[in-house]
Structure 1
């Protein structure tokens, strides 16, 4: 234990870190004094504002002061500020707005140190690896810097080099934060909802994952594999021979930052299509793959000259399990249905509220935040505005934003901000809604089919208008083809799993003792351009030929007019 060195730690281990620094308290004294000095001045300023009645007048000044303090304290605290910018359950609104501006840029460290690190990590000289390597970094951030180079084999590459002595600095800061959290947690006027040390541990775990470049390389390949069939998304290749835990060599991406609207247009690209790729690929990560890029800021997303979008920097990733993915779809379904009671239950299932929380007073508050946001005024929906309103609830109700969803919120807000820079009139739901509608209508899994039924039925009655809306919304997605969806629908209706839907559809068609031909006609008018009769007949015929007469009879429910049809059909077969 006494031989442990923070520089050797590959994963965040709070116990090992604590053992090391408890035996060497002098290592933390200077750092502690510096941190206390900065924050004492900040807290004194807050108190003076309170005594002089200047809290409201100086709140933006104090928020800016906090951002500058975090920047001066270096990499750990810059990352803390970025993490806190996604935590409305921990930080009040005016400070959140300032922390979102927190820049990741720091002065580059010495090139000689970077070159030495490349050679020691890869165990060969620069000239044995690269025919060219930029004399200065092309980008420098809090955790490392990037050089542009060319391998001896000719490939153009980006070489990411970690800052020296980073692990010891992060370990010391995390140790001090965790120690302070144990002391301050009971006194902080924050709606934490649980032990503050757990928040530090969540942060430390993600931070150590981010500085492990081998982990980042594996993340990149996993991400690329998820999008292997999507020709619109580009992920740089990893050069494993020239990669270690502190040096990462990957394919150089020639493209335009998504905020560089002028270059994107000059290249003949349509910003609207770029936006669509960004939003739909983001939703795919959350609702299909479950493995998502948690830091899609403008420097990590590029529009390529051929119209594709490239992701880079896979240090900050996270994984949603199947339960969370299904709960997210549930929440979207309940939003569409304006079912705020069930939405409150979703918040419990997703971890925003602890089990056993009395949701009755929370339901009206959720309704106040979301009312009409996804209904009649879809065009006015703004995710950032909704998030700001939601952040106000955390001080009135026992909400806590789980770490995974803090990253998701940050991701969605960032993507929306990028999209707005390309198109000030952009509405995230105009792209997101068609994607979700298409996913529901395609119903690739039993879970999605169950959620489609939840959308189409309310209080046991079939909602014709919702089906029309779903189809209308889905058709605005250029990737949506209604015929395969119709084919899936036929197959589902004719399966054992579709027995309930068959009976409900017949009841819907004959509800109130009349045939609902008007609703059917509206649906047909909506889809007839996409479903040419010969194509539709072919799909239906293929499905029906697989059924026996007994299966057809079992499919037809016992309603008066269909019973007559079934009997006549049976008599025909006997004749």
Structure 2
């Protein structure tokens, strides 16, 4: 562990320590922004781009190492920032992501006396009266709080039906630390808003505010408890998923008591095999559960790293799945707005179909690409990406010549760099969830192919979209049928009024015009019926070839009527 990690005094900052913490974060950010400006902007302008390229890898590694030390020493939100950076395998170089991987678990614990004092203050009773026992050694120490195993007092155990529990307590002084860190991050976001290379493509202050909202929710354990119960309700009838029960009698904003559901860590392949569970079978189920959260429920676990997912063995009949996935830690949750959810579904369908243009269109609809973006080159790049790498699993990608990746990455980055983009609400959390899901699945099964999990889900989405299309067509047909039923009556009423003289007119050709109007209306209805039958046949044919073909053939009849039925026009 780095020497800085030995300093455990950072959870109770005084005014002087708070100012020092704030300034340290700003000094780190300011220095690295200056270094980046020098190498990436200034040197290329004076013809020294080769120096920037030659030193880039080492500079990225040095930045990650220094940030690692800073984050572990300061704790608080700096750990969360590092965890987010470590999950961005899609855009950050491995020099950064690999160095920051250890931040998932590398957090020094708070002494138990400080934890006891805070818990007793929150609960209003001595810890010995609230619980039969509490293990002083934490089972997990995170950047914002830590967890201890406990046993409920007999009376409460009888009321809840639970005995073993997990007592989760915030780090003392974390409210002040979060306030300091957010102030520093907002300052850095303001700096970035004046860097054109960044501001033309992303609203950095808005991203900081989204991060702030998520962080403030994460230190409110009442919010986490409510999220846990909402998540449990989403999967109430799903035997793939379980969620620990909340002990509300021992829960406050800073203390959370949950059912102890500790089982096999999802990344512990040796323990899974020892329990008779094939890790290869776990990967696609985990991916499907995450896709359900993102694309169906619209409420998802945004921190599904291995420490937050257990595989729990269950009693099952022969041939049935003898395990389930147990999710814990609902402090970081994401919600997908309706418009974002629709865009994500279109994006998933396009990706499963290897449709480069469709993927770019979905990205634009999603609001990631601004309407002014010229996406011609991006569409070409996505088409090439699918043609070369589409459908490959992690193991297959490892066999590809790295030079080919670098060549494509260079081309692709040049295209993306010219495009104006923004990140919609909660999109950072969506990216994080998908990135962690892919990483966990690849660890369970090196040959795991994300496409294999995407395609069945996308196929169901396509069927749902077809159902919506058929429903829309049916509504249009009913509307047209209503018009067709009402039209002769209205025309007859009009002719009657002309005959009995109740309709005053100065045109001797009105009767002929009414007849022409009736023929035109019938042709329009025939064209509408042709379109309805043709579209319905095309949609249905994918699942029922015979019936779909019949509908398409029958659609020719109203088409012929539309084309030939109105040609005779007397007078």
The alignment's TM-score, normalised by the length of structure 2, stands at 0.69
**Cα offset, 1:238, TM superposition:** 0.6
Q: Does 1:80 align with 2:81?
A: yes
Deviations 1:495-532 (A, max 9, x none): xx9996753475799xxxxxx9xx999x79xxxxxxxx
Cα distance change on mapping 1:112 and 1:192 into 2, 3 Å: farther
Name the CA distance, whole Å, in 2 between partners of 1:294 and 1:182. Answer: 26
**Cα offset, 1:287, TM superposition:** 1.3
Name the CA distance, whole Å, in 1 between partners of 2:80 and 2:447. Answer: 31
Q: How does 1:374-413 map to 2 (within 5 A)?
A: 374=390, 380=396, 394-402=416-424, 404-413=426-435
Match of 1:34 among 24, 48, 54: 24
Partner in structure 2 of residue 277 of structure 1 = 285
Moved more, 143-152 or 266-275: 266-275
Q: Does 1:210 align with 2:241?
A: no
**Secondary structure of 1:190's match?**
helix
Name the CA distance, whole Å, in 1 between partners of 2:244 and 2:171. Answer: 22
Residue 86 of structure 1 contacts residue 406 of structure 1 at CA under 8 Å; is this kept in 2?
no
Cα distance change on mapping 1:448 and 1:557 into 2, 3 Å: closer
Q: Does 1:363 align with 2:379?
A: yes
Q: How does 1:193-272 map to 2 (within 5 A)?
A: 193-272=201-280
**Cα offset, 1:360, TM superposition:** 2.9
Deviations 1:156-187 (A, max 9, x none): 11111000111111112211221343244313
**Cα offset, 1:36, TM superposition:** 4.6
Cα distance change on mapping 1:289 and 1:37 into 2, 3 Å: closer
Q: Does 1:557 align with 2:549?
A: no
Moved more, 404-413 or 191-200: 191-200
Name the CA distance, whole Å, in 1 between partners of 2:362 and 2:382. Answer: 12
Match of 1:433 among 455, 458, 471: 455
**Cα offset, 1:85, TM superposition:** 4.3
Cα distance change on mapping 1:149 and 1:45 into 2, 3 Å: same
Match of 1:294 among 302, 306, 330: 302
Residue 86 of structure 1 contacts residue 410 of structure 1 at CA under 8 Å; is this kept in 2?
yes
Q: How does 1:150-229 map to 2 (within 5 A)?
A: 150-152=151-153, 153=157, 155-187=163-195, 189-190=197-198, 193-229=201-237
Deviations 1:344-382 (A, max 9, x none): 221122121123323333322332333354469999579
Deviations 1:388-434 (A, max 9, x none): 95777542422334452322222222122212222111112212312
Coordinate RMSD, CA, aligned: 4.1
Cα distance change on mapping 1:520 and 1:259 into 2, 3 Å: closer
**Secondary structure of 1:106's match?**
coil
Partner in structure 1 of residue 55 of structure 2 = 55
Cα distance change on mapping 1:439 and 1:35 into 2, 3 Å: closer
Partner in structure 1 of residue 439 of structure 2 = 417
Deviations 1:434-487 (A, max 9, x none): 232234336696279889xxxxxxxxxxxxxxxxxxxxxxxxxxxxxxxxxxxx
- Runs of 5+ unmatched residues, structure 2: 1-13, 315-322, 474-527, 561-571
Cα distance change on mapping 1:370 and 1:212 into 2, 3 Å: farther
Name the CA distance, whole Å, in 1 between partners of 2:308 and 2:431. Answer: 17
Cα distance change on mapping 1:445 and 1:302 into 2, 3 Å: farther
Name the CA distance, whole Å, in 1 between partners of 2:132 and 2:235. Answer: 32
Partner in structure 2 of residue 529 of structure 1 = none
Cα distance change on mapping 1:216 and 1:508 into 2, 3 Å: closer
Cα distance change on mapping 1:393 and 1:235 into 2, 3 Å: farther
Partner in structure 2 of residue 334 of structure 1 = 350
**Secondary structure of 1:352's match?**
coil
Deviations 1:122-163 (A, max 9, x none): 112212221121122111111110000111215211111000
Name the CA distance, whole Å, in 1 between partners of 2:58 and 2:309. Answer: 36
Moved more, 249-258 or 500-509: 500-509
Name the CA distance, whole Å, in 2 between partners of 1:508 and 1:229. Answer: 31
**Secondary structure of 2:249's match?**
helix
Name the CA distance, whole Å, in 1 between partners of 2:258 and 2:446. Answer: 34
Name the CA distance, whole Å, in 1 between partners of 2:138 and 2:275. Answer: 26
**Secondary structure of 1:249's match?**
strand
**Secondary structure of 2:104's match?**
coil
Name the CA distance, whole Å, in 2 between partners of 1:158 and 1:448. Answer: 50
Partner in structure 2 of residue 12 of structure 1 = none
Name the CA distance, whole Å, in 2 between partners of 1:293 and 1:313. Answer: 9
Residue 379 of structure 1 contacts residue 430 of structure 1 at CA under 8 Å; is this kept in 2?
no
The structure carrying a bigger helix percent of its residues is 2
Name the CA distance, whole Å, in 2 between partners of 1:331 and 1:449. Answer: 22
**Secondary structure of 1:102's match?**
helix
**Secondary structure of 2:198's match?**
coil
Partner in structure 1 of residue 8 of structure 2 = none
**Cα offset, 1:209, TM superposition:** 0.8
The alignment's TM-score, normalised by the length of structure 1, stands at 0.69
**Cα offset, 1:194, TM superposition:** 4.1
Name the CA distance, whole Å, in 2 between partners of 1:198 and 1:121. Answer: 34
Name the CA distance, whole Å, in 1 between partners of 2:203 and 2:386. Answer: 30
Q: Does 1:309 align with 2:306?
A: no
